[in-house]
Amino acid sequence: MSLFLNICITIMVLGFASFTSATPIERHILALSANNGGKDRPILRYAETDAKSFVAVLSEMGGVQKNNAILLHEPSIKSLKKQFDQLDHKILQSKNNGTRQELLVYYSGHADDQGLHLGSEIYPWSDFRKRIDAMNASVKIAVIDACGSGAITRMKGGVAVPAFMVDASSDMNGYAFITSSTQNEASQESDRLQGSFFTHSLVSGLRGAGDASGDGKVTLSEAYQFAFNETLQKTQTTMGGAQHPSRDMNLTGTGDVVITDIRNTSAGLILDEKMEGRLFIRDEQNRLVAELQKLRGRSLELGLPAGVYKVQMMVPEQNLVCDVHLKEGHKEQLSNQKFSQIKLTKTVSRGDVATDSTKEENLRNVTFNLFDSEDLPRTGTQFGFFVTNAEEKMVGSQISLLLNRSKKEFSGLQLSAVGNLANKMDGVQVSTTFNVAQQFDGIQVGASLNLVTNKSNGLQIGSVNIATDSLIGVQVGAVNAANTVNTQIGTLNGANNSFLQISTMNIAKNVELQIATLNWAQKLTTLQVGIINYARKDYGRSIGLINICPYCEKTPIGLISIVGNGVWSFSTSIDETGSFLGNLRLGTAYFYTTFEASRPFDFSEREFDKGMRSGLGFGTQFGTYGTHFDLDFMTLLDYTSWSPSRIGSFDMDMDHSFNIFHRLRFGATFQVFKGFGLMGGVSGNVVSEGSRVRVHANPRGEYHAEWDIAGRKVRIWPGLYAGLVIGRF
């Protein structure tokens, strides 16, 4: 399976006292995990899993009480600092009561030479180290599993060495920083381990695999030495390259620093002294909980919670397995006689299956049946005329006419005429009807339906694409639906959270960018472009023919913009032409569109003229809302109105049946009370008169200028207006 450069580990160790101290000891652990390292960094899978594993082994075997174990997932810098302050206050209170306080801080996630990457925030190494140094615990241990973690050991002049071989007694003082890699190395996580190489090795060592002395206790030096050797061995052949754990320490005192005590566990597994080989121990969920190289000549005890385990032992040319049931209060003895042999070609090689070396004959393992089913781990290709089925991990291809199914991890290609089913998929699914995966990294291509139910990465291409959890990738199809997705391209897109949607219709709860004929968003962050745009809370910009938003932080741009917290008002007024005007404004104070219709009144005849003006324009207000100044520009058509008895008088030839009227108006609005105001101002007017329709918009007086331009009469004059306004203005 593919490796991701992610978690890098820094263990800031500031002492750990022995369990046999005369002074009462209280231990605390603060475990932090962050899969999200911000923009342009891959989302990790196992940061939280690593943190839980570390807390579990310290709680079961390291003297950490349940109420003293804190787990924080995806913390912000603010929440982390608050948690440090609360924990420090708790430690200080207990310390004043005469109890020796010991602290362990663990971090798994993204980092670089600048510091910890907590989402889009960076917590500098210097600040992180100073905060731990300032804690009131007598001794402190910090474990940081993140890339570039070696940078923290260089801050005080530490020198990287291949092992940590200094112990301290319960009266020790000082610090020790242990890192999973050097400053310029990448720390890696593994799909096979479902965690990082370093944390997995360290936890295996703390469970007893690192007990080099055989006294039933794992000291800090033993745990580090075991983790160093195992991490280096596991990463030498990976694509990320070898990791070299390092350290920076300054401890004084005598004695051993005991981290875990195997003798105090309620259940355990004792490996017989005659056993020799590479051991893999998996729990009932098939998770790899411990891995070690057992040497002949002495027995070894591992501390594990009660439960059922599968133990696999690899020796030259043999692959041995057995099931073990651990009970509370009982230590189970395991010997060579309890193992049974399975074919070597059916086993999973050490390291990540997708990148570690695999035997040549395994890569060429090809089977063909009407119904091809495999219940052991394998590599190669399954051909099933009707159906293929893999019960265990598989690397390779499944090809069938009807259905391909993979129950565990699958890496490779599933190709079917009808459908593909996968639990944890790393590769490509291609079918004509449906592709379904619980967790997916790769590409799903289906003529009808693609479905993924857990957090995934990749591309979905099909008629209908559905991601019920988060999909870091792209959906391309007629209908796309997702809880959280980067990009959707289709006819209809729907998502709770999306960065970009492009389609005929987009619907989203929270979205950055939308481009469609119709866009609907509950919360818009950046931009939406369409014919009709709706955003309940618009913190970006809407550009379209019609924009609707109950709350807009920025001014929409369009012909009709209905803004709940903007301008929506109707005014009626009279101007210097003796016309009665009705005007509608929509938009915001910074930019609004205005629609107007008017009818001249002949005061001598005491009746309305036959003419009419209507048109649209745009404007802006100086100030905000309420009493303000405003400036707008309008273009109107001046024409003869028509009625059922005069239908023939209305001609769509604009050159002859319409006069074009332009008006620039500057005015003021006085708010008498909320929702009602008085308005008035001045205007500049220009009308271009056609040859068949007289100008109805004429000033009541002779104060105008007139020219003949290109066969048309152009008339210019200043004007006045006054009226009433209602609404929000």
pLDDT tens, position by position, 152-188: 554 433 333 332 222 334 455 556 667 666 656 666 7
First-residue to last-residue Cα distance in the chain:
62
Question: What pLDDT score was predicted for residue 17?
Answer: 38
- Where is average pLDDT lowest: 4-13, 151-160, 457-466, 593-602? 4-13
Residue 128 has pLDDT above 80, yes or no: yes
pLDDT, mean of residues 675-688 = 94
Residue 36, phi then psi, degrees to nearest 5: -95, 115
- Spatial contact of 104 and 54, defined as CB atoms under 8 Å apart: no
Question: What pLDDT score was predicted for residue 252?
Answer: 57
Three-state DSSP class for residue 609 = coil
How confident is the model over 509-564, as pLDDT tens digits?
A: 999 999 999 999 999 999 999 999 999 999 999 999 999 999 999 999 999 999 99
- Where is average pLDDT lowest: 95-109, 355-369, 382-396? 355-369
pLDDT, mean of residues 20-39 = 79
Can you tell me the distance from the alpha carbon of 464 to that of 482, in angstroms, rounded to the nearest whole number? 11
Residue 257 has pLDDT above 90, yes or no: no
Residue type, 362: N
Task: Pick the closest to residue 69 from 98, 101, 106, 30 (CA basis).
Answer: 30
Question: What pLDDT score was predicted for residue 437?
Answer: 94
User: pLDDT band for position 254 (50/70/90)?
Assistant: low
How confident is the model over 606-641, as pLDDT tens digits?
A: 666 677 889 999 999 997 799 999 999 999 988 775
Quick one: tokens of 609?
Answer: 């003229």
Whether pTM exceeds 0.75: no
How confident is the model over 333-363, as pLDDT tens digits?
A: 888 888 887 754 433 332 333 333 333 333 3
Task: Pick the closest to residue 394 from 359, 428, 354 (CA basis).
Answer: 354
- Spatial contact of 71 and 64, defined as CB atoms under 8 Å apart: no
Quick one: tokens of 475?
Answer: 């959906």
How confident is the model over 451-482, as pLDDT tens digits?
A: 999 999 999 999 999 999 999 999 999 999 99
User: Who contacts 398 (Cβ-Cβ below 8 Å, separation ≥6)?
Assistant: 381, 382, 384, 388, 390, 404, 405, 406, 410, 412, 413, 414, 415, 416, 420
User: Who contacts 717 (Cβ-Cβ below 8 Å, separation ≥6)?
Assistant: 576, 685, 699, 703, 704, 705
Can you tell me the distance from the alpha carbon of 13 to that of 113, in angstroms, rounded to the nearest whole number? 19
User: pLDDT band for position 239 (50/70/90)?
Assistant: low
Using DSSP, how many helices (H) and how many strands (E) does the chain show? 8, 44
Residue 23, phi then psi, degrees to nearest 5: -80, 135
Task: Pick the closest to residue 706 from 720, 689, 726 (CA basis).
Answer: 689
Residue 612, phi then psi, degrees to nearest 5: -155, 150
User: pLDDT band for position 697 (50/70/90)?
Assistant: low
Of residues 540 and 248, more confidently modeled? 540
Residue 388 has pLDDT above 90, yes or no: yes
Of residues 593 and 221, more confidently modeled? 593
- Where is average pLDDT lowest: 17-21, 371-375, 568-572, 581-585? 17-21
Residue-range domains of the chain with CATH:
4-264 (3.40.50.1460), 267-346 (2.60.40.1120), 364-432 (no CATH), 567-728 (2.40.160.20)
Residue 647 has pLDDT above 60, yes or no: no
pLDDT, mean of residues 713-719 = 89
Of residues 165 and 718, more confidently modeled? 718
Which range has highest mean pLDDT (2-11, 47-56, 195-204)? Answer: 47-56
Cα R_g (the chain), whole angstroms: 38
User: pLDDT band for position 10 (50/70/90)?
Assistant: very low
Question: What pLDDT score was predicted for residue 583?
Answer: 96
Can you tell me the distance from the alpha carbon of 585 to that of 567, in angstroms, rounded to the nearest whole number? 7
Residue 395 has pLDDT above 80, yes or no: yes
Can you tell me the distance from the alpha carbon of 114 to that of 290, in angstroms, rounded to the nearest whole number? 33
Question: What pLDDT score was predicted for residue 265?
Answer: 79
What is the CB neighbour count within 10 angstroms for residue 120?
10
Q: What percent of the chain has pLDDT over 70?
A: 80
Residue 669's Cα: distance from chain center in Å? 48
User: pLDDT band for position 114 (50/70/90)?
Assistant: confident
pLDDT, mean of residues 319-338 = 88
How confident is the model over 403-451, as pLDDT tens digits?
A: 999 998 999 999 999 999 999 999 999 999 999 999 999 999 998 999 9
DSSP output for 40-95: TSPPPSSHHHHHHHHHHHHHHHS-EEEEEEEEEES--HHHHHHHHHHHHHHHHHHH
User: Who contacts 544 (Cβ-Cβ below 8 Å, separation ≥6)?
Assistant: 519, 528, 529, 530, 531, 532, 533, 556, 557, 558
Of residues 24 and 727, more confidently modeled? 727
Question: What pLDDT score was predicted for residue 330?
Answer: 86
Q: How far is CA 256 from CA 18, 21, 91, in A?
A: 7, 11, 24
Residue 666 has pLDDT above 60, yes or no: yes
Residue 385 has pLDDT above 60, yes or no: yes
Quick one: tokens of 588?
Answer: 């915001």
Can you tell me the distance from the alpha carbon of 92 to that of 704, in angstroms, rounded to the nearest whole number? 88
DSSP 272: P
Can you tell me the distance from the alpha carbon of 204 to that of 208, in angstroms, rounded to the nearest whole number? 7
Three-state DSSP class for residue 39 = coil
How confident is the model over 479-499, as pLDDT tens digits?
A: 999 999 999 999 999 999 999
Beta bridge partners of 307: 326
For residue 129, the surrounding DSSP H or E stretch is helix 125-133
Question: What pLDDT score was predicted for residue 187?
Answer: 62
pLDDT, mean of residues 81-95 = 90
Residue 11 has pLDDT above 50, yes or no: no
Question: What pLDDT score was predicted for residue 171?
Answer: 58
The alpha helices in 183-326, defined as continuous H runs, are: 197-204, 220-235
Question: What pLDDT score was predicted for residue 673?
Answer: 95
Can you tell me the distance from the alpha carbon of 688 to that of 465, in angstroms, rounded to the nearest whole number? 57
- Where is average pLDDT lowest: 126-140, 512-526, 560-574? 126-140
Residue 506 has pLDDT above 90, yes or no: yes
Can you tell me the distance from the alpha carbon of 377 to that of 500, in angstroms, rounded to the nearest whole number? 40
User: Who contacts 665 (Cβ-Cβ below 8 Å, separation ≥6)?
Assistant: 631, 632, 633, 634, 681, 682, 683, 684, 721
pLDDT, mean of residues 293-302 = 87
Which range has highest mean pLDDT (119-133, 214-228, 255-269, 714-728)? Answer: 714-728
Residue 637, phi then psi, degrees to nearest 5: -100, 125
Can you tell me the distance from the alpha carbon of 380 to that of 365, in angstroms, rounded to the nearest whole number? 5
Beta bridge partners of 422: 406, 437
pLDDT, mean of residues 183-199 = 70
Of residues 339 and 249, more confidently modeled? 339
- Spatial contact of 117 and 41, defined as CB atoms under 8 Å apart: yes
User: pLDDT band for position 21 (50/70/90)?
Assistant: very low
Quick one: tokens of 719?
Answer: 């004007």
User: pLDDT band for position 228 (50/70/90)?
Assistant: confident
Of residues 7 and 685, more confidently modeled? 685
Can you tell me the distance from the alpha carbon of 703 to that of 723, in angstroms, rounded to the nearest whole number? 23
> Which residue has tokens 């670089």?
112
